[in-house]
Amino acid sequence: MNKSGIGDIAIVGYYQLLDTKNVIFHNKLLVQSLWIGGGIKAPTGKYEPAERKENEDTPNNFQLGTASTDFTFNVMYDVRLMDFGVNANVSYKLNTNNKYDYRYGNKFTANLLAYYKFRLADQFTIAPNAGFLLETAPKTRKPASTRWMYPADILYWRPQVLKLRSGPFLWARTINR
Predicted pLDDT at 142: 55
Among 151, 152, 150, 154, which residue's Cα sits nearest to residue 59? 150
Helix H or strand E encompassing 53: helix 49-54
DSSP code of residue 103 = B
How far apart are alpha carbons 94 and 113 in whole angstroms?
24
The pLDDT assigned to 82 comes to: 93
| DSSP states along 40-90 | EEE--S---HHHHHHTTTS-S---S--SS-EEEEEEEEEEEETTEEEEEEE
Q: Are 32 and 55 in contact (CB under 8 A)?
A: no
Q: Alpha-carbon distance 164 to 128, whole Å?
A: 9
Spell out the per-residue pLDDT of the chain, length 177, in tens.
677 888 899 999 999 999 999 999 889 999 999 999 999 999 998 888 777 665 555 556 677 888 899 999 999 999 999 999 999 999 999 999 888 888 888 889 999 999 998 888 878 888 888 888 888 877 665 554 433 434 444 444 444 444 444 444 444 444 433
The predicted model scores a pTM of: 0.71
Whether 166 and 123 have beta carbons less than 8 Å apart is answered as: yes
pLDDT of residue 146: 39
User: What pLDDT does residue 124 have?
Assistant: 85
169-174 and 140-141 strand pairing: unpaired
